[in-house]
Chain A
Amino acid sequence: MKSNELYSEESHQWLVLGRDPAKPEKIIDTNQYLIKSAEEAIILDPGGIELFSPMLAGVLHHVKLENITTLFASHQDPDIISSLGLWDKTVPNAKLYAPWLWEGFIRHFGMENIQYMPIKDEGGEIKLGTATLKFIPAHYLHSSGNFNVYDPQAKILMSGDIGASLEHGDVPLFVENFAQHIKYMEYFHRRWMPSNRAKNNWVARVRELEINMMAPQHGRIFKGEMVNEFLEWFSKLDVGIA
């Protein structure tokens, strides 16, 4: 599994892990994010069962196992958190932050040791070392209980399925040409995102945030001006269409 650093300061670092060359062909590629401070680390959307072993090997390159104190699941989908039963044995003392709505569902993945920390609908925040991570509500985008993670210091928004693109092959890490990138995102957003109202509400709230990087769970990451281009495009997109 490849890993790339997105942000690095003394307080904490952001890494993206993904694009595993050994990934079975028929499963969707996913980006997993690791944020680490000197003593603690959080994995955002740790991924599915199929990716657990490369993820574990990848994560251990960067953090000690005992430093993985927290997991975050933006929503309940299997590509997000079906590896939970395996992480539960690997980091039994960790906490899982996930939407309150999905607790009874996510526990089906197997959770005997990790503590479920339900995130209220209005969101919340946690500390990682000196850094603060905010849970930004993104309900109905696509899941009915759904959160993004915003880091005001790094100015990174982990946007879950928002901004996701479905491309095959060895895809570059960042969006280089927005117009050319639309074809990889359009169907996904029209089909997976069910509500224009929820979408417009999210766009309005996210425009208030200072964002250098918007990091989705699938495909390329938006950097700099590409973030605004995405927000502009998404605000005009009619979603909830099969």
Chain B
Amino acid sequence: MINSQQATSAMNNFVRVANIITNLDMILSQAKNLSLTAKNARVVALRAGDAAYGFKPITNFIDEFSEQTIRTTSEISKLSNQLFTLALAVVRCTDYQYQLTKAQSTSAHKCVITLQQQSLMDLKQKTRNLEQAIFSLESYFEDIQKQMRSAEYIAVTSRVEASNAGEFSHSLESVSDFIAEAAKKIKKAVNDNLQEIYKLRGALR
């Protein structure tokens, strides 16, 4: 049987899903910026010629991981729509259970008991579906975390290369700074989401 506290908890879980999706938008936008930065860096490196010789392969790396992050985030975005639907289904089933519990307090009709048993099974199924979706989501975030570790490494390497690029040092250093900053923001968003997922999984158990 569901009480009002459990109904509120289902709604809190729905809010957690909404937080995860909001963070996803941020990750996607930062990943797109990273991709743009790679393109700009390539142009600067070309202009710098031999002075930025070591920087050119780095731009390929930036491009590679930003594209990878965009791909992963786009996959997550598809999953997140599904996640919203599943979370909403759990909220509705929980609310239905709660209403049936209230009905049972005023009526011992066997129909109410049958409805409650059926809806409890439905709720369990919907909760399992949500758990599975969350499990898939978690593995995607772990991928992004790995990509961001590469990004931080590239930011450090590119700063060293930028310092040797003469008059182009300043432009290339700002590329390094941007990568470091974007990686930091994405990592934070991913960590926040992993924490939300952790809480969500705990709440669904």
Q: Could you say which of A52, A64, A110 contacts B111, with CB atoms under 8 Å apart?
A: A64
Q: Give 11 A-B pairs besides A57-B109, A89-B92 with Cβ atoms closer than 8 angstroms.
A: A49-B99, A57-B106, A57-B107, A57-B112, A60-B112, A61-B109, A85-B92, A85-B95, A85-B96, A89-B119, A110-B92
The interface on chain B, measured as residues whose beta carbon lies within 8 A of the other chain's beta carbons, has a size of 16
- Known A-B contacts A57-B112, A60-B107; A86 and B95 likewise in contact (beta carbons under 8 Å): yes
Chain A residues positioned under 8 Å from B95 (CB to CB): 49, 85-86
> Which chain B residues in 162-180 approach chain A with CB under 8 Å?
none
Contact with B along A80-108 (1 / 0, CB 8 A): 00000110011000000000000000000
Task: Please tell me if the beta carbons of A56 and B103 are within 8 angstroms of each other in the complex.
Answer: yes
Contact with B along A48-84 (1 / 0, CB 8 A): 0100111011001100110000000000000000000
Q: Could you say which of B92, B93, B99, B122 contacts A52, with CB atoms under 8 Å apart?
A: B99
Chain A residues positioned under 8 Å from B93 (CB to CB): 89
Q: Is B100 positioned at the interface, with any CB of A under 8 Å from its CB?
A: yes
Nearest to B119 among chain A residues (CB) is: A89
Task: Please tell me if the beta carbons of A60 and B111 are within 8 angstroms of each other in the complex.
Answer: yes
Chain B residues positioned under 8 Å from A65 (CB to CB): 111, 115
Nearest to B93 among chain A residues (CB) is: A89
Q: Could you say which of A22, A60, A64, A89 contacts B96, with CB atoms under 8 Å apart?
A: A89
- Known A-B contacts A64-B111, A65-B111, A89-B119; A54 and B106 likewise in contact (beta carbons under 8 Å): yes
Q: Is B47 positioned at the interface, with any CB of A under 8 Å from its CB?
A: no
Task: Please tell me if the beta carbons of A56 and B119 are within 8 angstroms of each other in the complex.
Answer: no
> Which chain A residues in 35-55 approach chain B with CB under 8 Å?
49, 52-54
Least CB distance, B149 to chain A, in whole angstroms = 43
**5 pairs, A vs B, C-beta closer than 8 Å:** A53-B100, A57-B112, A60-B107, A85-B92, A89-B115
Task: Please tell me if the beta carbons of A56 and B92 are within 8 angstroms of each other in the complex.
Answer: no
Q: How far is the CA of A60 from the CA of B116 in the complex (A)?
A: 14
Least CB distance, A34 to chain B, in whole angstroms = 15
Q: How far is the CA of A90 from the CA of B96 in the complex (A)?
A: 9
Which of A54, A57, A64, A86 counts the most chain B CB atoms within 10 A? A57
Task: Please tell me if the beta carbons of B112 and A56 are within 8 angstroms of each other in the complex.
Answer: yes
Q: How far is the CA of A53 from the CA of B112 in the complex (A)?
A: 10
